[in-house]
Chains A and B, each alone.
Chain A
Amino acid sequence: MNNELISNVMSVFIFALLYLTFLVTPKITRKDLIFGVSIPLDRTKDEEIKKISRSYYIELTGITLIIAIIYFIILNNVLNHPLTLVLFTFVIIGAYFVVFLRANKKMKTYKSKNNFMGNKKQVVYVDTNMSKTLRKDAVIHPVWFIIPGIIALTNLILPLMNYDNLPENIGTHWNIQGVADRFVTKSMGSVISTGLIPLVLVGILAFTNYSIAISKNKIDASNPVKSSQKLFKFKKINSIMIYCLTIGLTLLLTTFNLKSCNIISFDLAKFSPVLIIFFLAVVIGPIIISIKIGQGGSNIKDKDESDINSDVINVDDDEFWILGSFYYNPNDPSIFVEKRFGTGWTMNFGNKISIIISIIFIIFVTIMMLMPVIFS
């Protein structure tokens, strides 16, 4: 395969993935949150809402086609560089956000015209037993992260023990065919910093697992008991996915690291299928699982739907969601909360701790990106 073909195939794959993700997002969101606006469950099938959904899908498809055409013209005629793809990925995500905002605005207008929250009671349920269980037993115990931690540690210990035998140039970045395409010159600093990266990664993923544990337990008011059981499954499955990712990623990074340090040797060409399978599993697996379970477990099917109470609705907290996407509520001590649109978690930016965590995270990522530059 030549490089041009590979970059075209990669681009189609990434564009298709982004498009599909945003296409299914309305389907994996909680049932009473439509384009970031809270709506009583019995009004979610309104004709007007269906119309807004339809135009979301049409706009999404249209904008994807336009940007894709421009991109492939640039890629094949002007500049075939990996950065073009990175830049256009950001362009697409930005465009999708605008499409979401348009739907969000239409929903807000529709909601303000119709007073459908009026005769319903807005309540919050807390299950005193589940409140604790969801913070402890729902996620994998932190102790288990010692295993990937030890694997990651070999990246630091083995190269330092064999320091004299290391090659002069150590690969730090590999392409999809498993060939190193970025190197650092051998030095104490470069060996330690590249060896630390997997360890930092395990740390970040272990923290992600912890953040799932402490995230706000949002229980559906219309069916609190079943909803909290679904939330338990949702947290558990996400925690397991994080753990599998941690193990897979550390094994992969370690293999490549030790290979480029000449500590272990194997035929990289034979490793290619493993790499592609891993890549597909990491990208597609979570999407399929997320569709199946939905945000907060909302897509998990009930055996009987008899015990739904439609007199009560979840509390309308639209005012705390800036642009329907960013949660800002200084009165809420929660740090991690469920995203409004799609699946997963976001942060309460009204909380000082959230701001600190965000800054630390940005510093970490910057350091990790700068390290190869410093030592190359």
Chain B
Amino acid sequence: MLIRIDFQSDVPIYLQLKNQIVHGIASSELQPEESLPSVRQMAEDIGINLHTVNKGYNLLKDEGFVTIDRRKGAVVNEIPIKPSEKVKETLKDELKNIMDKEEFINECLSMYDEYNK
């Protein structure tokens, strides 16, 4: 994918880098298992300090978007993380017991409206 860094933006570069990669994962431009350029390569090509790139990559790691592999560098994670059979069963039970479909959708809609005023 093409990562774009705007040098005059108010958003710090490490955050721009992180946001761009998250966006790439969300839009499938970056595939799971794909390895990102190394910290050094990224810093050289953008022309910025290694620490800046490191900061962005660490944020991605902390939020579970990438795994830092000692050989391959930063590797994109499978997102969302595949739920196990047990989780699926529990979720099925809970949805059956607690609320019906209409109630569930209404709840979602009210949450959506609340945050999207």
Contacts and interface: CB of A to CB of B under 8 A. Distances in A.
* A in complex with B: yes
Contacts of A317: 47
A292 B106 CA distance: 65
Contacts of A217: 44-45
Given A126-B2, A225-B2, A132 B37 contact: yes
A132 B2 contact: no
A131 interface: yes
Interface residues of A, number: 26
B76 to A, nearest CB: 10
Nearest to B44: A334
Task: Please classify how large the interface on chain B is, using the bins under 10, 10 to 19, 20 to 34, 35 or more.
Answer: 20 to 34
A333 B45 contact: no
A12 interface: no
Of the listed residues B8, B42, B45, the one surrounded by the most CB atoms of chain A closer than 10 A to its CB is B45
Interface stretch (A27-35, A52-60, A77-85, A117-125): A117-125
B6 interface: yes
Contacts of B46: 124, 126
A122 to B, nearest CB: 5
A315 interface: yes
B37 A126 contact: yes
Interface in B1-43: 1-8, 24, 30, 34, 36-37, 40-43
B7 A126 contact: no
A233 interface: no
Nearest to B47: A332
A122 B5 CA distance: 9
Contacts of A214: 44
B79 interface: no
**B interface SS class:** mixed
A224 B20 CA distance: 16
B43 A125 contact: no
Given A127-B2, A128-B30, A135-B41, A332 B48 contact: yes
Contacts of B45: 124, 126, 131, 216-219
A125 B3 contact: yes
Interface in A71-91: none
B5 A224 contact: no
A332 B44 contact: yes
A122 B41 contact: no
A354 interface: no
Contact of A128 (B1, B40, B48): B1
B69 to A, nearest CB: 15
A269 B45 CA distance: 51
Contact of A331 (B3, B34, B41, B49): B49
A331 B2 contact: no
Given A128-B1, A225-B2, A333-B49, A122 B44 contact: no
A238 B43 CA distance: 24
Nearest to B49: A331
B91 interface: no
Contact of B44 (A125, A128, A216): A216
A315 B47 contact: yes
Nearest to A330: B49
A131 to B, nearest CB: 4
Nearest to A314: B7
Q: Which 9 A-B pairs have the closest CB atoms?
A: A131-B37, A334-B44, A126-B3, A332-B47, A122-B7, A124-B5, A126-B45, A217-B45, A333-B43
Interface of B: 1-8, 24, 30, 34, 36-37, 40-50
Given A122-B7, A124-B4, A333-B43, 18 more contacts: A121-B6, A122-B8, A123-B6, A124-B46, A125-B3, A126-B3, A127-B2, A128-B34, A131-B41, A131-B42, A131-B45, A216-B47, A315-B7, A331-B47, A331-B48, A332-B44, A333-B44, A333-B50
25 contacts: A121-B6, A123-B4, A124-B4, A124-B46, A125-B5, A126-B2, A126-B37, A126-B45, A128-B3, A128-B36, A128-B37, A129-B1, A131-B37, A131-B41, A131-B42, A131-B45, A214-B44, A217-B45, A315-B7, A329-B47, A332-B44, A333-B43, A333-B49, A334-B44, A334-B47
